[in-house]
Amino acid sequence: MTTDSPASADEQSKRLTEVILKGDEIDAAKIARELASGRTEANDVVDTISETMNIVADLHEVERYTPEQVSSCERAAEKALDALRPRLKLEPRRIPGRVMVASLKGDPHAFDKTLLLTMLEVGGISSLDGGEELSPEELATKVSALKPDVVAISMLTSLAAKGLLETRSRLESSGIMTRIVVYGRGTGSLPEDSGTVVREEDSLSALSKIAEILLAL
């Protein structure tokens, strides 16, 4: 008589990707919790979730996924992230300063913003949710009003990259020199010389850069 062996971490990771792509919130949270309870580091599970949301973004860009399907996937990814929150390891320490996290028009995907807000919270950095799909004018107005020390912007598309350059121009013309950290695949659309803008590859590297900036203030 034989018994089924437990699913391997690789199999569970693939299953997590599948259920997020289906928008299954319950199973996404369950599998993420199981992975983090085993030998898999919670940070590695976050990588799986982020990579899955990159797939979702790609499917949306080629019109394979509707906005409604994207929203369903994001809700499943956020449930998985919530399940991991107690196990995330980020060496928390209180760092003075405030960070506003937002996204610009052209980037309808909210997960990268949610992920960075979670990492900032776990890492002991005060954060503000600046909103999603803002116009350059809206973002510049919020920065002027809230005066964060750093603005972090998730970026996937070239359209959002254009909006960032306009936002930076608006802020500079108003005499506001708040540091801007952008992260995600869309940063490749920015020119090399982007002034006060710092480009990072993903949420984790953005977090490290933000901490570095705040500690230097």
Mean pLDDT of 75-80: 96
CA dihedral 184, 187, 62, 23 (to 10 degrees): 10
Rounded Cα distance between 85 and 106, Å, is 28
Tokens of 76: 């499943």
- Please say if the pLDDT value at position 195 is more than 80: no
Rounded Cα distance between 130 and 98, Å, is 12
- pLDDT digit string, tens, across residues 8-27: 889 999 999 999 999 999 99
Rounded Cα distance between 25 and 95, Å, is 33
User: Which among 99, 100, 160, 171 is positioned nearest to 135, based on CA atoms?
Assistant: 160
- Please say if the pLDDT value at position 92 is more than 70: no
- Please say if the pLDDT value at position 56 is more than 70: yes
Q: What angle do CA 170, 174, 178 make, to 5 degrees?
A: 80
> Do residues 151 and 172 lie in contact, with contact meaning Cβ atoms separated by under 8 Å?
no
Which residue reads 């919790």 in tokens? 33
What are the structural domains of the chain? Answer: 10-87 (1.10.1240.10), 95-215 (3.40.50.280)
- pLDDT digit string, tens, across residues 181-191: 999 877 887 87
User: Which among 94, 79, 117 is positioned nearest to 211, based on CA atoms?
Assistant: 94
Rounded Cα distance between 43 and 78, Å, is 14
Rounded Cα distance between 90 and 105, Å, is 30
Please give the DSSP secondary-structure letter assigned to residue 174: T
